[in-house]
Chain A
Amino acid sequence: MVTMGKDKGGPPASARRGRPDSPARWLNNVFLALCAYATLFPFVNVIATSLSSSRAINAGEVFMWPIEFNVDAYHNLIRDGQLIVAMQNTVLITVVGTALNMLFTIMAAYPLSKARLRGRNFMLMAILFTMLFSGGLIPNFLLVNSLGLVNTYWALWLPALISVYNMFVMKAFLEGLPEELEESASIDGAGEFTILTRIILPLSKPVIAALTLFYAVGWWNSYMNVLIYIRSTDKMSLMVKLYQMIDLVSSELLRGEGVTQAVITPESIRAAAVVFAILPILCVYPFLQKHFIKGVLLGSVKG
């Protein structure tokens, strides 16, 4: 009861009790901390592994902290250079892919958010249907192949221009904007393009931020499409390069004999490569996570 006044808007029922934490609640807090620890431990472990000596790794001594600290694995990766190239490729794939996604998502969602538009329902059904039924992997591949796009990034970008789900999120958001805004702007003599770029899009910043992030993370992590469509080694994305490294190592691990006794084991290199791949996401995550959550909630309002 005491805390009631302090909370703004719908406080959880639990906040309404004046009593200090009961043992059960305390236990709950500890349990959740353990869950968070279990979630993060693998990442901490892989970072520690990437900075440890091969002897320590093979002896199974590495838990949370690097044992016999060294950065040789990173040195090797950078000297090898392939991962750097792969990362540049991934940045290119992500930036262009996300920009195309947003362009086409807006081009689809904006007209379709207008109830007055004739043929709108037909178009919506046509788009929705592609979410329920798709051509499948092989026909898609044959199409891209016949268009001569294999081994170009267009093979990744073009088939995935619009995520239907994201388009519907955007459309639902735009439908929520007041109609009068556009009317008054057009009375003031603004053209339709100006209305879209100067009024509608600036008002849509939250949804644009959320969807941009969804698309960008998708591209950064994308793997299967690169595996299928990209052939040249110098065009490989970070995730495929990473998979090739893991695959080599995991087959050895399965034999259960640890890895070869080189000064730097493939395992520490693999760990370093993993750190390479997750570091950008971990760096931007704290600043952007609220947009992600907003995006999920925006989507749930109108599935």
Chain B
Amino acid sequence: MVTNSTSLGKPPSGTRGAREGRAPTLWKQISRNRFLYALLIPVAIYLILFKYAPMAGEIIAFKNYRLSEGIWGSSWVGFEQFEKLFASRDFYIVLRNTLLLNLYHLVFAFPVPIVLAILLNEVRAEWYKRTLQNLLYIPHFISWVVLGSIVIALLSPSTGVVNTVLKAFGMEPIYFMADKFWWPVSFIVSGIWKEAGFGTILYLAAMSSIDPTLYEAAKIDGASKRRQIWHVTLPGMRSTIAILLILQVGKMMDVGFEQVYTLRNDAVTSVAEVISTFVYTRGLVSLQYSYTTALGLFQSLIALILIVSVNRIIKAMGERGLW
């Protein structure tokens, strides 16, 4: 990739086709493909305007940005915004919540689709399996606003079904959404509800490509069902699990805005405020543009480092990388 992009500007040095002379070839190539380039022009404009310009806009993290003065008019402040950020208690709370919710997700939610896929794979009647799959996929297609409102209603201490059942067993109702212990639990479980079913698709695909003779051989060797799963099924899913796991780690700095925003409330801010919601409320609601851009930039940089190192790890493990 590197050689290709740099060779554009450099004179040819013994590459293929160099004998014909560079300039006419390049021109001819472009002119022969002008239709394709014409298609790409709007795409390039889009990328520059809406993707790369905002990256340049990150410089306001080093300024004291005021709407009235604009990006260029606002004064430079160097790393002052970052110093303010790292000195504030909010930053550590928000960072801790972001990392913790991701950690809980990794430990409790990540394995669920794997287990579910293994169980689904053991269903023999094809129609039954397909029906189950289609039902389990449904929440994936529904927005967090809807799911969040359903969760809040189900867990309501006065009228929610969950607490009605608890009360029926003589227990005290639990204020799930207002309790610092139960809120993260509800958060993770609702995440499982939405994505676990859909998450089985890739694992099921991986399992269907396992060579059936491996199972035959295992059976002849007297392996029980459980040992077959351990020694044949799981190794067969290994690369899928690895890639998805590492992708998940690459997202450690980010908790989706919509899930938190719909589930959170003032009673649990200390465990529920994450980077994305903090940037929204402090940046767009309280108009602290530069301060929150500094936080956003910090988050993006860590995320970039994570995903690049993660890709290295994937490749070092002998799997195909993300790029």
Q: Is A81 an interface residue (CB 8 A)?
A: no
Known: A43-B150, A111-B36. A223 touches B145 (CB 8 A): yes
Q: Is B42 an interface residue (CB 8 A)?
A: yes
Q: Is B225 an interface residue (CB 8 A)?
A: yes
Give Cα distance in the complex from A133 to B154, angstroms.
38
A303:B322 contact, CB within 8 angstroms? yes
Known contacts A46-B153, A192-B35, A246-B149; 12 additional CB pairs below 8 A are A16-B216, A60-B167, A110-B36, A114-B33, A134-B55, A136-B300, A139-B293, A142-B60, A143-B53, A221-B142, A246-B152, A250-B152
CB distance from A83 to the nearest CB of B (A): 13
CB distance from A81 to the nearest CB of B (A): 20
Q: Is B75 an interface residue (CB 8 A)?
A: no
Q: For residue A2, which residues in chain B have a CB less than 8 angstroms away from its CB? A: none
Among B201, B228, B279, B308, the most chain A Cβ lie within 10 Å of the Cβ of B201
Known: A139-B60, A246-B262, A267-B159. A39 touches B193 (CB 8 A): yes
Q: For residue A49, which residues in chain B have a CB less than 8 angstroms away from its CB? A: 153
Q: For residue A112, which residues in chain B have a CB less than 8 angstroms away from its CB? A: 40
B36:A114 contact, CB within 8 angstroms? yes
The secondary structure that dominates the B interface is helix
CB distance from A59 to the nearest CB of B (A): 8
Q: For residue B146, which residues in chain A have a CB less than 8 angstroms away from its CB? A: 239, 242, 274, 277-278
A46:B161 contact, CB within 8 angstroms? no
B42:A104 contact, CB within 8 angstroms? yes
A-B residue pairs in contact (CB < 8 Å), sample of 26 = A13-B210, A14-B124, A42-B150, A57-B159, A60-B159, A60-B167, A111-B33, A122-B5, A123-B44, A134-B54, A136-B279, A136-B300, A137-B279, A137-B296, A138-B296, A139-B54, A140-B54, A142-B60, A143-B54, A221-B141, A221-B142, A223-B144, A224-B258, A270-B149, A289-B134, A297-B201
CB distance from B14 to the nearest CB of A (A): 18
Q: For residue A134, which residues in chain B have a CB less than 8 angstroms away from its CB? A: 51, 54-55, 300
Q: Is B58 an interface residue (CB 8 A)?
A: yes
Give Cα distance in the complex from A281 to B145, angstroms.
14
Would you give the 0/1 interface string for B33-58, flagging 1 where the beta carbon is closer than 8 Å to chain A? 10111011011101101111111111
Known: A35-B136, A137-B283. A161 touches B46 (CB 8 A): yes
Q: Is A107 an interface residue (CB 8 A)?
A: yes
Give Cα distance in the complex from A119 to B116, angstroms.
44
A254:B153 contact, CB within 8 angstroms? no
Give Cα distance in the complex from A285 to B307, angstroms.
33
B122:A28 contact, CB within 8 angstroms? yes
A133:B304 contact, CB within 8 angstroms? yes
A137:B280 contact, CB within 8 angstroms? yes
Q: For residue B152, which residues in chain A have a CB less than 8 angstroms away from its CB? A: 246, 250, 253
Give Cα distance in the complex from A242 to B146, angstroms.
8
Residues of A that sit less than 8 Å from B by CB: 10-16, 21, 24-25, 28-29, 31-33, 35-36, 38-40, 42-43, 45-46, 49, 57-60, 62-63, 104, 107-108, 110-112, 114, 116-119, 121-123, 125-128, 130, 132-143, 158-159, 161-162, 192-193, 217, 220-224, 228, 239-240, 242-243, 246, 250-251, 253-254, 256-259, 267, 270-271, 274, 277-278, 281-282, 285-286, 289, 292-293, 296-297, 300, 303
A117:B33 contact, CB within 8 angstroms? yes
Give Cα distance in the complex from A43 to B289, angstroms.
40
CB distance from B123 to the nearest CB of A (A): 6
Give Cα distance in the complex from A32 to B56, angstroms.
50
Q: Is B202 an interface residue (CB 8 A)?
A: yes
Known: A60-B159, A132-B308, A134-B51. A121 touches B4 (CB 8 A): yes
Residue of B nearest to A282 (CB): B138
Residue of B nearest to A160 (CB): B50
Residue of A nearest to B42 (CB): A107
A10:B208 contact, CB within 8 angstroms? yes
Question: Which listed residue, A13, A58, A281, touches B215 by the CB 8 Å rule?
Answer: A13
Q: Is B164 an interface residue (CB 8 A)?
A: yes
A40:B138 contact, CB within 8 angstroms? yes
Residue of A nearest to B120 (CB): A32
Give Cα distance in the complex from A260 to B254, angstroms.
38
Question: Which listed residue, A42, A59, A257, touches B151 by the CB 8 Å rule?
Answer: A42
